[in-house]
Chains A and B, each alone.
Chain A
Amino acid sequence: MYVAVKGGEQAITRSLQLLAEARRGDLTVPELSLDQIREQLRLGVARVMQEGSLYDEELAALAMRQAAGDMLEAIFLLRAYRTTLPRFGYTQPLDTNAMRVRRRVSGTFKDVPGGQVLGPTYDYTQRLLEFESTAPTSPLQAEAPLPDTMPRVLDLLDAEALIERIDAGVDPEPIDLTREPLMFPADRATRLQNLARGDEGFLLGMAYSTQRGYAESHPFAGEIRMGEVDVVICPEELGFAIEIGSITLTECQMINQFHGGNGLPPQFTRGYGLCMGEGERKAMSMALVDRTLRCDELGEPAYAPAQNQEFVLSHSDSVEASGFVQHLKLPHYVDFQAELSLLRTLSKQHAQHLNAEETAAQETSS
């Protein structure tokens, strides 16, 4: 009897029960607390906040636990929650010059004012699995604190007019991509918003492709800095700015080659990446992709995928991509039936046609 799709409601209920059981695992093992996730899986929390477009460590930790560690699912959970939040206003532009830096490195100068500051990085860990449980360490206090602010490495080049100057004042007011649809061609502010929410893996692959000859842009890591930045809003009813807290950011400024033209002297160009929390891989990838997407503005021949803004921006979002790829598991039997019926007609005709040809061939040969 025909029972294929009956009982959907009950099946869903049972599936949810199984999922809850699988997520919790062995009941003799204590459940992860949100504090544990926030404190001990902070880079995961940072990624979920970044791509979830919501700076809230507690909610990101909750989403990670609920998603059983599936980062894309956690990002999706946070995005869906974000939809329900009212929009009170917009902050003033964050001033990363005034960042209280915890890490700051430059690949372009051996030493820079303020110094190279490694900070907490995996770069030199040698990636040996540490089988012993991590013993508490007691870091030594530095003899002198880091300076409150550090000049940007790129400003040193700017002083010599060797790098393109970008006047912050000339940027048009950015649109809010979470409230308005992405339209093409997209300006740089819109592209950066899209990349900031984009999937780290996708951006990493795109960025990598530019280093392997698909839109070469000769990048140097001018400066990468990570630390805390104050968030300032200016409520209309108050009329003056107030600080509402601070957030951790990672910023990457790439220096890229450019040989002048359009009446400009030869000078370096810039690629920019920024993300919430510690996310150096993402910020660097974003900076590389940002630079290649500027090909039209800089009059560069555009032939590579990473230079094609429709290609990059339309496919960068993991929530969109994951949903659409996985929607293929939904029933498609109505369309499939339509294709089957068409294919049967075509194949019948093909057979008739062959038969007719054979008959004709026999008649001519006899």
Chain B
Amino acid sequence: MTSNYNFAFLDENTKRMLRRALLKAVAIPGYQVPFGSREMPLPYGWGTGGIQLTAALLGPDDVLKVIDQGADDTTNAVNIRRFFARVAGVTTTERTTEASVIQTRHRIPETPLREDQILVFQVPEPEPLRTLEPREAETRTLHALADYGLMHVKLYEDIAQYGHIATSYDYPVLVDGRFLTSPSPIPKFDNPKLDHSPALMLFGAGREKRLYAIPPYTKVESLAFDDHPFEIQRWEHQCELCGSDESYLDEVVVDDRGSRMFVCSDTDYCGQRRGEQAA
């Protein structure tokens, strides 16, 4: 642990500012709280929002897990885990069940989370309406009025043009029946895990200087129409390593003739299953 920096890098005043913003976020599920995001020693767009939230949450007894694309050993996840081991000296783990704080990019673990766990999402674009309306002043007004017609029209136009809702990740959700919210770029496969989750879910967007929360056991609906209900991705394959037919699969090109194999994106889930099978 590097002693030249305060515990978990940020000074205590900054952590207090973050915690107050987080309390507000938990009090208003799905509402984007502006906060005084700091420059972190990792680049904007690489998880600075999640890192600031994790820094504000961590205590010396916490056990931290960091995943990117579901995997613990992707380079950016390794780097963030190294960062906290260096500036906070906390215990880190790759086991979902052992972690008290899990920072994630683009996935929710397959293993169900518990009430004593917090999931911290890295968010590139917190505003679900941004691609439809670039002006921040305007989107804040739309949220204030709960005017989400733009998004419904977009989904309708998808169906009219393609026969399907053409959003496969970062699929918009309505939190607690009030705020339209970005679940971050998780595949829509993971959206059902947001609904009534026992674990607290926190979202940090460092570059955009917004954070928001889905408190435990909050109703989270993925937008859909009565005649076009929400559906998640399915595969014709099973994981070639652990045989799971329930997990989100990554497609890996294995030779230069275009052969593919499908494996779990959640490396801990896959590894645990293989361990059990071997035993």
Contacts and interface: CB of A to CB of B under 8 A. Distances in A.
A127 interface: no
B44 A323 contact: yes
A323 B187 contact: no
A5 B251 contact: no
A12 interface: yes
B106 A8 contact: no
A180 interface: yes
B229 interface: no
A90 interface: no
A110 interface: no
Nearest to B189: A338
B79 A12 contact: yes
SS of A interface (majority): helix
A310 B124 contact: no
Interface stretch (B6-14, B109-117, B220-228): B6-14
A221 B185 CA distance: 47
Given A12-B82, A185-B137, A324 B44 contact: yes
SS of B interface (majority): loop
Interface stretch (B23-31, B68-76, B95-103, B174-182): B68-76
Interface string B206-240: 01011000000000000000000000010100001
Given A76-B43, A180-B36, A337 B78 contact: no
A311 B40 CA distance: 24
A259 interface: no
Interface string A322-366: 111111001111110111111001100100000000000000000
Nearest to A327: B45
A302 to B, nearest CB: 12
Contacts of B38: 83, 178
Interface stretch (B142-150, B159-167, B196-204): B159-167
Contacts of B251: 333, 337, 340
Contacts of B34: 181, 183
B229 to A, nearest CB: 16
A179 B18 CA distance: 11
A189 interface: no
B36 A346 contact: no
Nearest to B241: A2
Nearest to A80: B41
B169 A339 contact: yes
Contacts of A330: 46, 68, 76, 105
Most buried by B among A84, A334, A349: A334
Given A2-B252, A184-B136, A324-B124, A334 B207 contact: no
A307 to B, nearest CB: 13
Contact of A84 (B6, B77, B185, B233): B6
Contacts of B137: 184-185, 310
In the A-B complex, the 9 residue pairs with the smallest Cβ-Cβ separation, listed nearest first, are A323-B44, A327-B45, A323-B43, A338-B168, A181-B209, A324-B45, A79-B39, A8-B78, A323-B45
28 contacts: A2-B241, A4-B252, A8-B73, A8-B75, A9-B73, A12-B82, A76-B43, A80-B41, A83-B9, A83-B10, A83-B39, A84-B9, A178-B36, A181-B37, A181-B209, A310-B136, A320-B45, A320-B207, A323-B46, A324-B124, A327-B44, A330-B105, A331-B68, A331-B74, A333-B251, A333-B265, A334-B248, A338-B168
Interface of A: 2, 4-9, 11-12, 76, 79-80, 82-84, 86, 178-185, 310, 314, 319-320, 322-327, 330-335, 337-342, 345-346, 349
